[in-house]
Amino acid sequence: MKKISFICCYTRPDLVEELKESVKDYSSFDMEWVLIDNSDGKYSSAAAALNAGFKKSTADVLVFLHHDIEFDTEATLLSIYREAMNGHVVGVAGRKENGGPLVTTITDGKNKERSHYYNFQSESEPVLACDECVLAMSRETYLKVGGFDEVNFDGWHFYGVDLCLRAKEKGITSVVVPTKLWHKSTGNHDKNWEFYEERLRRLYKDKYKVIYYPCGRCYTNYALYRLTKLLRPLRKRTLQKRRLG
């Protein structure tokens, strides 16, 4: 039986129960739940909470995930497990190094408003960075990368993108597997989003001209970065009109 640790920082116990319910019949797995209740705000960052969860885990494969996930089939988890054991960082959504469409087939939104399509050519697709809603790896890979960066990403954004970039520097490939699992959110670009995007830019400006991540792109040249930020609201309105029209 395949042992796997689900490591989840949560504030909504009801969503955790729905997550657990979605995998309860997956007989191929011995599941360990490392659940970090952050309803009291004990942890000020995802990186700190998930690193604390790692220290409590015992399985060879670690699945760091948001509390608002429901898995679709056991095959999805088997794919995640396989790719993690192959030494990859594994996600369910991501963006390739040269940009292009979002690599995912998940469903997202509170009421399943969006279903994404991507034409997978193999059992997994290599990407530059994975979305943080599900981020899996072997224990060996976690230790090789050094876990999540609690110093530079001491909030709730870009901690997973950073981990994927550091993994790449060590020769570890990040991949996305096809799945129709449900992420009950479309993301949260709160006031701290741009703060941590700017931190990402400064950390990697000597290594990348542009960093493509699941929710967008970050030009590391400061002038281009500022221009992109100014144009972002216009681009968002254009995309919304396309969806409606």
Spatial contact of 139 and 62, defined as CB atoms under 8 Å apart: yes
Instruction: Give strand pairing partners of 33.
Output: 6
Q: Decide if 233 is inside a domain.
A: no
Q: Decide if 243 is inside a domain.
A: no
Query: CA 106, 37, 34, 27: dihedral to nearest 10 degrees?
Result: -50
- Expressed as residue numbers, the domain containing 199 is 2-217
Spatial contact of 49 and 36, defined as CB atoms under 8 Å apart: yes
Task: For 96-137, write each residue's pLDDT tens digit.
Answer: 999 999 999 999 999 999 999 999 999 999 999 999 999 999
User: Which are the contacts of 54, defined by CB distance < 8 A and separation ≥ 6?
Assistant: 7, 62, 142, 147
Determine the Cα–Cα distance for residues 240 and 228; give it in Å rounded to an integer.
18
Q: Decide if 223 is inside a domain.
A: no
Q: Decide if 229 is inside a domain.
A: no
Q: Decide if 6 is inside a domain.
A: yes
Determine the Cα–Cα distance for residues 73 and 118; give it in Å rounded to an integer.
18
Count: domains in the chain: 1
66-80, 150-164, 177-191: least confident range: 177-191
Q: Which CATH number characterizes residue 177's domain? A: 3.90.550.10
Is residue 86's pLDDT more than 70? yes
Nearest to 204 by CA among 96, 128, 117, 118: 128
Task: For 170-192, write each residue's pLDDT tens digit.
Answer: 999 999 999 999 999 877 777 79
pTM of this prediction? 0.92
Q: Decide if 145 is inside a domain.
A: yes
Q: Decide if 175 is inside a domain.
A: yes
Query: CA 175, 180, 184, 189: dihedral to nearest 10 degrees?
Result: 40
Q: Decide if 11 is inside a domain.
A: yes
User: Which are the contacts of 95, defined by CB distance < 8 A and separation ≥ 6?
Assistant: 102, 103, 127, 128, 129, 212, 213, 214, 217
Task: For 193-233, write each residue's pLDDT tens digit.
Answer: 989 999 999 999 999 999 999 989 999 988 887 777 776 66
Is residue 245's pLDDT more than 90? no
